[in-house]
Structure 1
Amino acid sequence: MKDFKLLLIVAAITGILYWGVEPLAHSVMHPAVAPADYGFSDLEKIDSSKGNAAKGAELVMANCVACHGIKSQGFDAPMDHESASASYGVVPPDLSSAGRIYESNYLANFIKNPTKAAHLTHKFNESKPYPMPAYDWMSNEEIADIVAYFASIAPEKVSNQEVFVDACQRCHSMKYDKLLAETPEETLKDYMGSKAPDLSMMIRSKGEHYLHTFINEPQKLLHGTAMPRVGLNEEAEKQVVSYIESIGDSKKDERESLGIKAILFMMVLSVLAYLWKHKIWKEVE
C-alpha cells in the first residue's frame, strides 16, 4: 500500500509539471498567433478567373522574361545564377510552376506591388528598392491576364522536391539532399541582411506547426525578419513541409512506433518489478 501511495505522489508531481509548467513555458517561447491565412485576406482582391491567358502571354513576354526564365515554355533564364544574384541580390525564380504553387490573388498582388505583398516594406524602400519593380502602373485586368497565363502553363503535378526548389532554393540549401542555394551565401547576406539557414534539420528544431505558420506569414513569429511572405497555396505549402520532413526526419514513423513499444515495455517491466519486490519483501517479513 505504501508503494502504491508513493507511485500516486510521483504520478501527481509528474502530471503537474507536464500539464502545468510545460504549457506555460511553451506559451512563453511560442506565443499563440492567428492561424495561417491561405486566402491572404489582407490583400486587394484581383480576380484572375476571367483573365485572358493569350493577352497575359504577350505581357509576360514584354515584361517578365528579361529577368525570369520559363523553362517549360522554352525560355531559359537570361543570366546564370552568379550574374543574376550579383545584379539583383537574389536569383529570380523560374516561372514555369508559378500558376501551380502560388495562391492566385497573392500572385496578382505580388506582381502589382511585391514589397507590400511579401510584407517587406520594413526592409525595402526608395533608398533600398526591392529587386523586382512594382507593376502597379498596369491595370488589374492586365495583371489578371498575366496570372491567367501562368495558370494556363502550370503543370498538373509537381513533386514535393520540385515545389521546394521553385519556392525555396533561391535562398535556402537542403544539404542533406545535396541541394545548395542558388544565390551565393554572402550575396544573399548583403541582400537580406542575414544568412538564410540550411533547412535540412528545420523540421526537428521548429516542428511542423511552426513551419506552416512561418512560411505563410513570417512576421507573426519573427517580427522584422527579412524572410518574405512566400504566398504558397495551402497544397504547395504542405508539399514543402512534407519534403523538409522527409529529409530532416525520415525516421519519424519508425521513431513514433518505437516510442509506443518502449512505453509498453516499461509498463510491463514496472509491473514485473513491483511483483518481484513484493515477493522478496514478503519472504523477508
Structure 2
Amino acid sequence: MKKIIVALAFLALPALGVAAGGADYPLQVAPIDLHNKASLQKGARLFVNYCMGCHSLEHQRYNRMARDIGLTDEQVKSNLIFTGAKVGELMKNAMPKSDAKQWFGVAPPDLTLMARSRGVDYLYTYLQTFYLDPTRPFGVNNVVFPNAGMPHVLWELQGLQKPVYEVHKDKAGNETKTLKGFELVQPGSMSPPEFKEAMVDLVNFLAYVGEPIQLQRQSLGIWVVLFLFLASVVFYLLKKEYWKDVH
C-alpha cells in the first residue's frame, strides 16, 4: 500500500507544479483540438518560425510530424526545415547549448514534453502574459513565470502590453495591488483575437508533440472497451451454460 501511495504522489507532481506556477494568476483554458489538422499545421509553422531558434523538439522527427498532421515530406522540407536537416531527422535547432547558457543565463529547455509536464493551460496563459518591464534584461517580464529568462519572441505578432492593476486599501491605509488585465501599448501585426487564436494553434501543436500516439491510442481504446464488453457477455453466457446442470 505504501508503494502505491508513493507512486500516486509521484504522478501528481506535474499537476502540483502547474498549480504552483499559476497560483498568483488564473490560468486560461486552452481550447485545443488535436483532431484539427489545420490548427496543428499552423502551430507547427509558428513553432519553427518563432520558437525553434532557441528551443528544440529532440524526441520528434520531421517526417513523423508530417504524417500525423497531414503534410507531405516535400511540404515539410520546403516550409518547415531551416537548419539543413533531413526530413527523417529529429527536430533539433542549431544553437549550441554553451552559447545559449551564456546569452540567456540558462540553456533554453527542449519542449517535446513541455505540454505534458506543465499543462496546456499553463502554456496558453504564459504565452499571452508577457508585459513590459524595464528592470529585466530583455525589457519584458511574465505574469505566470515571473523573472523568466525568455524574451518575448512573439512581440511582433502580439505587440507590447503593460499590466493594469487595481489598488485596494485596507483599514490601516496599506495598499495592495491586484492584476486586473493588460493594456496594449504598441499593437502587433495581429489583433488580440487573432493572437489568441494563434496561441491556441501553437499550444495545440505542443500538446500533439508531447504524445504523438494519443489520437491513435484513444481510437484504439474505444475498440478495446467494446471488445471487453462483448467478451464479458460471452463469458457470462458460458458461465450460465456451464453451471446450469450443477445443483
Q: TM-score, normalised by structure 2?
A: 0.45
Question: Which structure has the larger Rg?
Answer: 1
Q: Give me the TM-score of the superposition, normalised by structure 1.
A: 0.40
Higher strand proportion: 2
- Structure with more contact order per residue of length (Cα contacts < 8 Å, sep ≥ 6): 2
